[in-house]
């Protein structure tokens, strides 16, 4: 399995395909274990960790896209348009870069989202602004 840096650079389609293959391997390993044919039991743990890493990366991309689309400035830009988002982690900025495009592929804007900001607890606490910066295409 690839390390987390390589996983962050993969496309969503490639991640989902890899996740499906890992789940299939986990099914086969469990079947072998139940029938007492599994020789390397440590492989179960490794595949379970691989699945968790893949799901984490996909979930973080989804959270970054949701946080970027919920930002008031970006929400007004996207209002009334059909769009798709592509999120990738930029290590230099320590943030997720979410690029918004329309269905034709024309760039609408880009937002940088920091999911590591501390979120205060309680009902009265204001939510932190997760979008660090954004650019709107003209």
- Are 12 and 38 members of one domain? yes
- Are 118 and 86 members of one domain? yes
Token pair of 65 as six digits: 């896209």
Start-end of H helices in 40-118: 42-70, 72-78
Pairing of strands 95-102, 107-113: antiparallel
- Are 57 and 79 members of one domain? no
- Are 59 and 8 members of one domain? yes
Number of domains in the chain: 2
Interior angle at CA 36, CA 35 and CA 38, nearest 5: 110
Tens digit of pLDDT for each residue in 47-93?
999 999 999 999 999 999 999 999 888 999 899 999 999 999 999 98
- Are 77 and 59 members of one domain? no
Sign of the alpha-carbon dihedral angle for 34, 40, 42, 45: negative
- Are 75 and 132 members of one domain? yes
User: What are residue 87's DSSP bridge partners?
Assistant: 98
Percent of the chain with pLDDT over 90: 67
Domain span holding position 11? 4-64
């Amino acid at each position: 399995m690839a390390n987390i840096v390589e996983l962050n650079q993969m496309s969503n389609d490639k991640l989902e395909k890899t996740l499906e293959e890992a789940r299939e391997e986990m099914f086969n390993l469990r079947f072998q274990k139940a029938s007492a044919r599994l020789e390397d039991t440590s492989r179960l743990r490794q595949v379970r960790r691989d699945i968790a890493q893949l799901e984490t990366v996909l979930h973080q991309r989804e959270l970054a896209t949701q946080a970027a689309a919920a930002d008031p400035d970006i929400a007004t830009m996207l209002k009334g348009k059909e769009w798709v988002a592509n999120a990738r982690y930029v290590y230099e900025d320590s943030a997720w870069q979410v690029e918004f495009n329309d269905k034709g592929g024309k760039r609408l804007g880009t937002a940088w989202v920091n999911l590591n900001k501390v979120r205060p607890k309680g009902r009265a606490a204001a939510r932190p602004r997760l979008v660090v910066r954004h650019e709107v295409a003209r």
